[in-house]
Amino acid sequence: MDILSTKRKMAKSAKWQMLYHNSKELGIRLFKNNDNFSGLQLSFLQDLAFYSSIYTDISLGEVSQKVLDSTIYEDAYMYYKVNKKYKTKLNDDTKSTKTKWHFKTPK
C-alpha cells in the first residue's frame, strides 16, 4: 500500500473536503490530537488545502475541470498559480515603490 498516494486521494475526496471545510467553519476535529501534528498529518493538511484551492478555482471558472484528470495537471496548475501570484505581487511592489517615494537632493 502506498500511503502517500492514498493520502493524496483521500484529501481529494468529497468526504475529506467536507470535513476540512467543517473543521474550519464549525471547529470539527479532523484528528484525535489537536496539536503536535505528525509529519504525515501536516502533509495531509497541506493536501486538503491544495485540493480545496483547486475546487474553489474550478467553481470560479478559473481553471478547467480537466485539471482533476491527473496529479500532473493538478501540480502544474498550482505551480502556475503560485508563480503568477508571486510575479503579480512583485510587479505591484515595484510599481508602488515608484509612486510612493520621491528622493530629492538636499539644497
Partner 1 sequence: MEVNDKELEKVATEFNRIKEQMAFINTEEFLSSNEIIFIYKDQTYRVRKPTFGEHQDVYKFKMNYMYHLLKQKNEDNTPKYPSEKELCQVYLQRGIDIYSMDSRLKAYDIEIEKIKSILGESLTKDGIEDNELKMHKEKMLSLLDQKNKLNIERIKLLEGSIESLTNIEGLKYLTMLVIDKQVEEKQYNKLWNTVEELDKAPNELVNYCIYYTSLINDN
Give one DSSP letter per residue of 1-42, joined into a string: --HHHHHHHHHHSHHHHHHHHHHHHT---SSS-SSS--HHHH
What distance in Å separates the CA atoms of residue 86 and residue 44, rounded to the nearest whole number?
24
72: contact with partner 1 by CB under 8 A: yes
User: Does 88 interact with partner 1 (rule: CB under 8 A)?
Assistant: no
CA distance 107 to 99: 22
Q: Does 99 bind partner 1 (CB under 8 A)?
A: no
- Identify which of residues 24 and 66 has a Cβ nearer to partner 1 in the complex: 66
The size of the interface with partner 1 (CB under 8 A), counted in residues, is 34
Residues contributing to the site for partner 1 (CB under 8 A): 1-3, 6-7, 9-10, 31-33, 36-42, 44, 62-64, 66-67, 70, 72-73, 75-81, 83
